[in-house]
Amino acid sequence: MRFTKMHGAGNDYVYVNCFAEPFPTDPAALAIAVSDRHKGIGADGLILICPSEQADARMRMYNADGSESEMCGNGVRCVAKYVYDHGIAKKDVLRIETGRGVLSLQLFIEKGKAERIRVNMGTPILKSADIPTTLAGDPPVKQTLHVAGRDLQVTCVSMGNPHCVTFVPEITDEWVLSVGPQIEKHPAFPRRVNAEFIQILSPREFNMRVWERGSGETQACGTGACASCVAGVLAGLTERKVLAHLPGGDLELEWAETGEVYLTGPATEVFSGEW
């Protein structure tokens, strides 16, 4: 099986071109194997680039633990880059089918390659039952979540996958590596949840780290950054257009007045090989 390693702001996945390769018989087991950073290729998960009847390509995403996720903002940018750079569809605007639906992506081309990509991530899901969470509120803003022996004020948003955003004075390993896993599996989130920790720097800028459902801490999370942008507006802490600083790089975010969230950031191809 041929594969390509790619990352968006450090959020790295193993990509397989299923236009040319057969769809894996057990993609969950393959995701676990290739993601292992000691005995595999090493990645946050596996993404399959597949034919689509309604778009230029379809993205199927599997976390490092083998669970399938609905959406990945950094991953879909890399899918668009691959589709363009490898000649599957040579368009400046691509449509990619995801578990969230069909998304539109604008490609910024430099020297024949897609370098930065702007994704219309669609409108955020703000109804508690649809996120899903048992916390009150539509949307659930600054709700109390008892976890790790403390009461947190959290804001929950779905971008096709669920997110729980906590605003903290300073982001520490204690928050991300200790509290994060407990939030992920908290009973208030029936399908588990991604846990974001946000330090506000100004109304237009914040630092962010994330504990991702099924993968642990990652260098970046596109849907998490979008959810944090929305949560910042809902909580009255940020403007609708913000710059997010993540361990793997920066992402530009905008929650437009029309309701859609836009994510702009890099997409990088690292190497290809055979598994």
- Looking at the annotation, which residues are catalytic? 72, 221
Evaluate whether 76 touches 103 at the Cβ level (below 8 Å). yes
Label the pairing between strands 113-120 and 261-266.
antiparallel
- Vertex 26, ends 54 and 57: CA angle to 5°? 20
Partners of 83 in beta bridges: none
Q: How many residues does the chain have?
A: 275
Evaluate whether 239 touches 214 at the Cβ level (below 8 Å). no
User: What are the CA-CA distances from residue 197 to residues 52, 202, 227, 248, 256 (Å)?
Assistant: 35, 15, 11, 15, 23
Reference 105, options 272, 275, 274, 267; nearest CA is: 267
